[in-house]
Structure 1
Amino acid sequence: MKISLFNIEKDVDEGKLIYNTISSGILFLDSEKAEEYEYLKNLDFINQDDSDLKRELRKGHMIIDDYLDEIELIKYVSNSARYDKDYLGLTIATTQACNFVCPYCYEKGIEFKNMSDETANNIVDFIKNNIKNDSYLDITWYGGEPLLGIGVIEKISEEILKYINIDKYNASIVTNGYLLTREYAEKLNKYKVRTAQITLDGPPKIHDARRKLASGEGTFNKIIENIKNTCDLIDITIRVNIDKTNKDYIEELVNILKENDIYDKIFLYVAKVDDYSEEANKNKSILTYEEFSNLHNKFTENNKNFNHIPMINPNICVSVNSNGFVIDPEGNLYKCWDEIGRKEGIIGNVKEGFEYNETFFFYNNYNPFDDKKCLECKLLPICMGGCPFQKRKRGEAVCREQKFLIDQMLDNAYKSSL
């Protein structure tokens, strides 16, 4: 037997943590066991007789059979997930119009379109033609602001719910939350939309400066009221987009959520604002991944409810799944929602079919194992080479926040277990 390539060891006050990024297993060794582990490891303990310690390490994939090539194992698991024909994942933009004007929006310069009944019908046909009777169907309603196209959500949902296996159907929505009234939440609930992601970028003075209506009016108070009125009908995730302009206001937002009695009723996470435009190098507000990670670590330290240990991510993201697509209001097909609205990102149309162009092959043949730096990284199973869209834009893999977060995540997990 041999030690896994994907073990991360961390010394803690009372001993040692061992975390394996393939199994997501965490093993705590007290001081006595940690000492035994180091002693036996130096004696090639894996070939010694079975012991309680050895059995636990095997259970967590921390020691493995000599013949096992873990890179080939990860490739196999990844390919099995990416080319699973019993799954169809769709992100459907009901409209590219939005009632907000946010400074970091990807839709700058994009012509706004609304979905017609004809396109909605074509999408229904596309789903029927690309899903088996007992396959999993996952739909994310997207935009623009998708609730501006609530009629499209109703129309498509009404049709597909007639014939899919409801036990293998999941639907969610990414919305700015301003239109998520009780009435709309009841409609979404009727059509099995179980989760909603809403963005709050800080307390009112920050959020309202960044995420305001086209009229200039603030949106924070309305969104908070909507969350309070709908979180019993739909599971709500709050995303906080972080850059240098709002990085010092996260805890103030957390306190407001607590004051409104919704902190424990939602899931909250922080996300890094990125800029993929040609002017990205001039954008002084963007945090580096190291800077963002320091903020994220502070956030999870103060808000342990939202700390988690990352798991193996064989699919990378839906963009590289052979049955994962983004659909814009005109029925154009893409592989990534960061491509939506941009002609170079189109890989076909729900009515005419696929275009086997450069973009199609980039995502469908995306190979996270062609980068030596990634192959030598212990985080490969949970990162899988990073964001494909970023690699497409920048020409190289970009290390994600997990690289800088994992030590603090393990520390938080250890402290929360005490």
Structure 2
Amino acid sequence: MQAAAAVPAMLLASRYNFSFAQGGRVVLFNARTGTSWVLEGEAAAALGAELSSAVQAWSSEGWDPAVLQRLLDGGFLVDPDFDEVAQVRHRYWAARHEAPMVVTVTTTLDCNLACYYCYEERSEQQLEHGDAVAIARWVAQRIGTSGKRSLHVDWYGGEPLLNPGLIEELSASLQALCREQGVRYDASIVSNGTLWPQDVGGFVARHALREVQISLDGLEHEHNRRRRYRRQHRPAPDASSFAQAVALIDALLDHVRVDLRVNVDPGNAADAVPLMEMARRRGWFQRRHPIVMAPARLAHFSERSEFMRQHGLDTVTFDALASQMRSACGDSVRFEDPYVANGRLQPRTSVCAALADDSVVFGADKSLYRCGLQVSEPHRAVGRLQATPRRVIPIRPVEAGAPPADADAGWWAAYDPTEETRCGSCSFLPLCWGGCPKHHLEDDTAALLEQCGYWRRNLGRYVLQPWFGVATEALPPLGEEAQFRRGVAVLPGSCSAAA
């Protein structure tokens, strides 16, 4: 039998420890390992507070052996020579390299609806037959070089079903390619739900859809105000985009998972809970594929939607509203949450497609992007679908000092949240990996601080809910001292000062 490793005489409290007291008991949680441990007894509160207040040295002498082993196994105490940030960094880069191939295809930037908050320009740009051939060629080459054994295609727009011919052609081509190469294929689509064919089940099966995202912006009156038909696309004077989307959801739930994105702003917030009640009345929670709820705060998503900073719902109000929506639905209804696996909060082990080594967004403008939110921002492109022949002279000369069209490509390849000034020192790091990388690229400080605020307000709920069912609003938010620990060298530029 192999002898147990010797425990160092001195240990360090993990920089990723958190403790939350509830009803005389304390839940100790480590964000790097995802381990939770309920402490009881007179010393529970003091031990939890000490372990989560600073990265300080602890003697390994005097502990009950079983207690010490649990603290070591859970990552609450670590060897002083163990670099916790380095392990988070290793996990992050492994996730980037191992992520499945995701190809997002923006079939068109055009849309039949005129949502007031839309950040896309609704141009008539669209992908065509030659682009489908080029995309299939790109995918074939990348599968060959990467060795990835799965491909996920996300049909995106604008409204992707304004260009159904492209979907039919490219979907068939990519599925045939995957069959030939022994690669698993599936797809998803983001749609407003107004242009689907009558044979919903046939469309889902033909295109191997495993997920459909449909948005509702409140009940019918508010939804139709926000998602009105554009004049040239209105099918009838009294057409209701709400009625079309609801009828489609009714049909889809027999065939595929539907993520219902509930977009909330100050004007339709009162509809959020009644919308949950409508979903229950229509039986959406008990269907063959029960609907998945995805509350979303209408906010500033793009450089083109700066105006939403003044018109969006504040994050505190949205968190409270989302909690009310969950309560109205009950525990059996699934709410989309990337941070929870098997009902418990877990450290990140996957990255968004923008960071995956072998993923790409094909824009309707024939450009390649890393993030789907950038398809209306040509200066954020990282390449072109088809190289421009050298003999072609640009109509407009490039302005002096303007960045090249693929200036962001190097940034995306090198981005590492553990090396960021603020994120590398943050105790939430293993849970969020710095949040949305697009916000870092654009130096969007306000959005990054919102992400920090989210974890300060919600971490306690995530940790305690599996044990006690505690609601978000019942817990005080964490302070800056919990996010940036004493004893950790905080890099310049953080809002916290080093001890």
The question of a shared fold, defined as TM-score above 0.5 by the shorter chain, is answered with yes
**What are the within-5 Å matches in structure 2 for residues 403-418 of structure 1?**
403-416=456-469
Distance 1:220 1:279 in 2: 24
d(CA) in 1 for partners of 2:350, 2:215? 25
Q: 1:367 aligns with which of 395, 402, 416?
A: 416
Residue 319 of structure 2: aligned partner: 293
Aligned counterparts, 1:257-406, within 5 A: 257-264=279-286, 265-275=290-300, 276-277=302-303, 280=306, 283-303=309-329, 304=331, 305=333, 306=335, 308=340, 309-313=344-348, 315-352=350-387, 357-396=406-445, 398-399=448-449, 400=451, 401-406=454-459
* TM-score, length-scaled by structure 1: 0.88
Contact 1:115-1:330 at 8 Å conserved across structures: yes
1:245: which partner in 2?
267
User: Residue 133 of structure 2: which of 115, 121, 124 is its match?
Assistant: 121
Identify the match of residue 86 of structure 2 among 72, 85, 92.
72
How many angstroms does 1:381 deviate by? Answer: 1.4
Q: Comparing 124-133 with 323-332, which one deviates more in the overlay?
A: 323-332
411 and 182 in structure 1: CA distance in 2 versus 1, 3 angstrom threshold: farther
Change (3 A) 1:63 1:300: farther
1:294-324: CA deviation from partner (whole Å, max 9, x where unpaired): 3333333444433745433355422222322
Q: Which amino acid aligns with 2:367?
A: N
- Contact kept? 1:182, 1:226, Cα under 8 Å: no
Q: Distance in 2 between matches of 1:207 and 1:116?
A: 32
Q: Residue 76 of structure 1: SS of its match in structure 2? A: helix
Query: 1:156: which partner in 2?
Result: 170
How far off is 1:38 after superposition?
Answer: 5.0
Query: Which residue pairs with 1:24 in the alignment?
Result: 34
SS class of match (1:154): helix
Q: CA deviation at 1:339?
A: 0.9
Bigger radius of gyration = 2
Distance in 1 between the 2:285 and 2:270 partners? 19
Counterparts of 2:187 and 2:148 in 1: how far apart (Å)?
16
Is 1:171 the counterpart of 2:171? The answer is no
1:238-257 deviation line (CA, Å, top 9, x unaligned):
11122212222211100000
Q: 1:39 to 1:260 in 2, by over 3 A?
A: closer
Q: Which amino acid aligns with 1:198?
A: I
Q: Provide the TM-score with structure 2 as the length reference.
A: 0.75
Q: Do the aligned residues in 2 keep the contact of 1:241 with 1:272 (CA within 8 Å)?
A: yes
1:198 equivalent to 2:217? Answer no
**Residue 204 of structure 1: how far off its partner (Å):** 1.3
Unaligned runs of 5+ in 2: 1-10, 389-403, 471-499
Q: C-alpha deviations, 1:360-399, integer Å up to 9, x for none?
A: 1222222323443322322111222222222333454713
Structure 1, unaligned runs of 5 or more = none
Q: Secondary structure at the match of 2:346?
A: coil
Aligned pair count?
Answer: 414
| 1:187 to 2:203 alignment | yes
Instruction: Using the TM superposition, give the Cα deviation of residue 262 of structure 1 relative to its aligned residue in structure 2, in angstroms.
Output: 0.3
Deviation for aligned residue 1:39:
10
Distance 1:48 1:150 in 2: 70
CA separation of 1:128 and 1:199: change in aligned 2, threshold 3 A: same
